[in-house]
Every structure is written in C-alpha cells, then in structure tokens.
Chain A
Amino acid sequence: MQEATTWRELLGSIIQDPQERRRLANELGINPVTLTRWVNNESSPRSQSIQRLLNALPQHRKALLDQLLDEFGGLIAETEGSLTEDLLNKIPSEFYIRVLRTLATIPQVLRFSSLCDLILQQALEQLDPNRVGIAVTVVRCMPPSTNMKIRSLRESVGRGTPPWESNLDQQAILLGAESLAGNVVSLGRLVANQDLLEEQSLSPGYHGQWEESAAAAPIMLEGRIAGCLLVSSSQPNYFQQSRQTLIESYADLIALAFETIEFYDTRQIELGLVPFQDVQKLYLSGFRQRLSETMIQATKNQRPLTIFEAEQIVWQQFEAELLGLPQAKESKQEMPREHVKRSHP
C-alpha cells in the first residue's frame, strides 16, 4: 500500500475496514458519515475530536500527529500542548481542595472508602478521558502476619471504565510477589509494563482479563509504605511518561486515605507467591457469608466490629489459607493441589 501523505488519506485507509470505521465513530462519539466527510475534505474535526482521534489510534498516533500538524499547525500544537501540560500531568487544583476538605470533615468510619472513591473517580476520568478502558485499584498491604512480615497485598477499592465494570470491589483478590503490584511495593517506586502479552518481557506482571498494559505507583508516607495504586489498560503502551507522573500524583493523594499505622517499614515487606485468580475465586466465593458470620459472632460476644474491621479479619483468614501460613492449619479448606499453579513465573 502506498504511504499516506495526509492524515485524511491515512484515515481513509483505516476506515476502509467497516468494523474499524464503526469503532472509531463510536469512540469519537460521531456519526460514521462524519469520518467519511473528513476523509473527503468536506469538513474538518474540532480540536476535541482531533484529540480523541489520536487517542483512538495509538498505533498511528505519530504519523497522524505529524500530518495533522501540517494541516492545522497551531491548533494541534495548542491542543497537544495544553493537554500534556494541564490535563495529562496535573491533578486540577480544585480537586486537591476537595480532597483536603473531605479529609477535614468526613466521619472516621468513612475515611478510607469515601476518600478512595472520590480520588479513584477523578483518576478514572483523567487517565481515561476517551474511555478506551482502564481499571484503577487501590492495593493495600495485608497487616503483618508471622514474624511481623507482610506476606501479601489485597486489592481494595477499584473502579473501571468498560470493558471493566464500574465497581471492581467484588473482584478483589490477594496479590503476591509474582504481581506487578507486589513488585512495586517491594521496590518502593513506580513500575510499568507496557505489554503484558509479551512473554519475554523482563517487566513484572501478568495478563489479566482485558489487560494489555499496566502501571503501579507506591502509596507512601515518610518513607513507609501502605500499598500501591494499580492502573490497568485495555491498550498496549498506554502508560506514557505523562500518565506515569499522574499515577504517582494520585498515589500520593491516596496516602491521605490511610491511617498512619497502616504504613509499614519497607524492611517488613516479604511477599510470598499467591495462587492464581481462579483458585482464589473458589475460596473467596464464601467471603460475604464469612463476613456476615464474623460480624454476628462479634456482636454476640459483645464486641461488635465495623464492616471494615470484619473485612480485615476475614481477609487475614483467607491469606493464611492461601499462603499456607501456620495459623491457617485448623481452618484450611481442602483444595486440589493441581489448581494451585502460578499465573506467572
């Protein structure tokens, strides 16, 4: 195929595929006829649509951008510049004010869940303005179990854009040393894996459902660590430098949701390997039931628990069972050994 010399030609070749034409129109929120009009030079996109077009075609982004610059010059430079400078790198100041105001007034029992909710919603909108599909999850350290060591992490609050569900809380599992999150918590710095399908990759992490690339940044206070902010994308190479910077900023903000005692000395981090998601799901299917029983029992014992305290206890029971920790022996459920395989070397 002859190389396209204008962005209109390039777009024309792309939308020859009817499926791709429909996908693009859908992602840009326009009628497919509008795409044809652009190709035929009968109309031109607005700056908002240009940005969406670039984001919808990451594999053609560079070529498209060069050719769009030829035709639109300043407009594109302004669009790209302002997006990079203000929208991609920085959390809006209004939002910092909102988070700090919330922290000052929120009932203690809602502190973690409401602050995480508020921050994740904002992160979702800013990291995925064109809704190509991301999931954002707060991953927290499980409290130390044996020898004061932290042996696993657990996914806590999560939010997503399609194909992920909007609320990911019920999908939560434990993560260990084999995971990207585990790697980040062990290292104490941001790590990105731009192609989770690449088996030869030296970057940690494994391919989850819909997940093509991922990045995570540690949640820290005074050099101590509480967990990490994990972001997964349905697109490969999604985590350019600007997005990585933004993820770090959101991780810093999420630190406000945690109590000081939930930040651990990095020397306490000694993550084990946890079973694959399918195996965990078998265990976790009884989570709600066990949670309910734990709360009822605590109430009967005149020591009522909040739902957050009860959740923590039940997660610790699951952790012990899944990692085969000593305290799990009495309550450990039988699980066929062949099911306990690793998702990633």
Chain B
Amino acid sequence: MTTPQDNPKSGNVYISDPESGAEMARLIDQDRLVTNGMGGLFPERSNDFSGIHRVLDGACGPGGWALEIAFKYPEIEVVGFDVSQAMIDYANAQARVQGLENASFKVMNLLKPLEFPDNSFDLSNVRFVNFLPATTWPQFVRELARITHPGGFIRLTESEWWYYSTSPALETLNSLVIKSIQVQGGFSQTGRFTGILPLLGNLLPQVGCVNIKLVSHVIDFSYGTEAYEGFRRDASVVFKLFQPFIVRMQVASQSELDDLYNQMILEMLREHFHGLMMPLTAIGEKA
C-alpha cells in the first residue's frame, strides 16, 4: 500500500514519508510478495500480454510491477508514474542499471489530469491506493479511461490489508490505520473496513468499460508459509512507520501504539499464527 495524505489538497498521498528509504524498501518487498502471491503480473489473463504494447502503472511507487514487465517483455513499453520524486528517481535508476530501455518513470499526481494523450495505453494498472479520499476516485478512474486505448484494459486492485489474521494486535493496528483514513475522508462508513472493495467493480462501467470481471486472490502468510517471513517483516515496518500518522489523526496515543506494536511482534512469531491477505482485482475493457 502507498498511503493517505494529511491534507488532501496538498497532493501528498502518503501515510508515511514517501521520501523515506524505509518506506521505499518496504514497498519493493511488498510489491514482490503481492505479485507472487497473486499469481503473477497479470493473473486475470493467465499472465498473457499478447496484443499489449504499452502499459501504464499509476501510483507505481518504486516501480516493481512495471520493471518486472519491462524485464520479462522487452517488446512492451512500460511507463510508470508516482507523486514522489524519490520513488521516480529510484525507479529510473533501477531501469538504467538493469538496462531496461523499455521502461520509464515520471513524476505525476494521480489526483490531477494525467499528462498523457488520449488512447495511449493498452493496459492501465493502479493498485493499493485505498487510502485516497472517496471523492477522488471517479475522477482518476475517468482519467485512466481517457488514456486507455479502446479495447485496452483498466485494472484496479485493492485489499483490506492485514485484516484477516489470528493476531488481535495486528487486527487492531490495521483498524487504527483504517480509522485514521476515515478521518481523512476515505470510503469507510464505520472505520472497520476501507470500504472500497464493494465499489471497485462499479467504478469501471461508469467510465465506459465493458466485460468487467472481479477476481479475488488469496495470499496465505501464516507461520511456516513461503510468504510468512516477508509479511512479518512488512508488518514490523508498516506499523512502526505509520504510527506518527495515527497519532496525528488522534485515533490512538503513542503509548497505546507502542504496546500494540510489541504485542503484534509477539503474536506473529507464534507457530499458530495464521494470516490471509485477499486482494480483489476489478478489470474491464474500454469500449
């Protein structure tokens, strides 16, 4: 996940400091974990990129998904954008050291008109931006539709993050982040869920997409699974880096967070720890 803003008007859409290398390292790891867990780069189409020549990755963070496509499919041109200059500098440096001439990255804000001509891409992908204010979604999905070629795909992926686990502390910390996002105007009605999942598929027909599909994925990060160590590490970083945001939103005090954090570390170490991440993808074709 790349994260919500203190002030929706500022254009800064990160919960934690987007210029922070810790957040960047976390996002790179998370990107790999989630892509693997979901079954590849484009699992809704059995990872088949035939007929796709230009791909966009919006709010791409350090560019993991986009770079992976560029590496595996040298004939595809991949463009990524993110609001963070640091993320974009990093992604461009990665493309350079890997000799990926078919990947490029630009600083751009998903909440503003996108600087691409109409019908530019065959696949426009955005994932894990459920922190964005609810009011901004229709506008940016409309922009994605504008820049996607007729017959091309728009792909949106979201999740409830760490919601499904046997760790009470992890569940509580996750809910505190969601409550903080609610304070800022997220989709959530109650502060229990991010609220975006039921609406995800509904956004696409509104911008002229057809053949809408909803595809759910399950990533098991229970103790002993392949994903366990990565998710355990991710949780230990996420819920440390996000603490200042939760405190600022006055959803919990620092001492409450410190206790929950230590409890979460312990609970995730136990052999009977179980956890699932369940991303949902909505994909549609532009008519």
User: Which residues of A does B touch, CB under 8 Å?
Assistant: 28-30, 46-49, 51-52, 83, 87, 92, 94-95, 97-99, 101-102, 105-107, 109-110, 113-115, 117-118, 121-122, 125-126, 129, 131, 165-167, 169-170, 288-289, 291-292, 295-296, 299, 304, 307
Contact = CB atoms under 8 A, between A and B. Distances in A.
B134 interface: no
A102 B22 contact: yes
Interface residues of B, number: 45
Given A98-B90, A288-B269, A118 B97 contact: no
Contacts of A106: 20-22
B25 A92 contact: no
Contact of A125 (B36, B92, B94, B269): B94
Given A98-B86, A289-B271, A107 B101 contact: no
A83 B99 contact: yes
A109 B97 CA distance: 31
A289 B269 CA distance: 8
A103 B134 CA distance: 34
Given A92-B96, A117-B29, A167 B230 contact: yes
B241 A113 contact: no
A122 B89 CA distance: 13
B247 interface: no
A110 B86 contact: no
Contact of A114 (B17, B92, B99, B237): B237
B269 A102 contact: no
Interface string B65-107: 0000001111100000000001001101110111111100000
B26 A30 contact: no
Contacts of A28: 74
Contact of A170 (B90, B99, B229, B241): B229
B19 interface: yes
A107 B257 CA distance: 14
Contacts of A169: 229, 233
A295 B270 CA distance: 11
Contacts of A47: 101
A102 B89 CA distance: 15
Nearest to A120: B25
Contact of A118 (B24, B226, B241): B24
List 9 tightest A-B contacts by C-beta distance, closest first: A102-B21, A118-B25, A114-B22, A117-B25, A129-B98, A292-B269, A92-B93, A126-B97, A94-B89
A117 B26 CA distance: 8
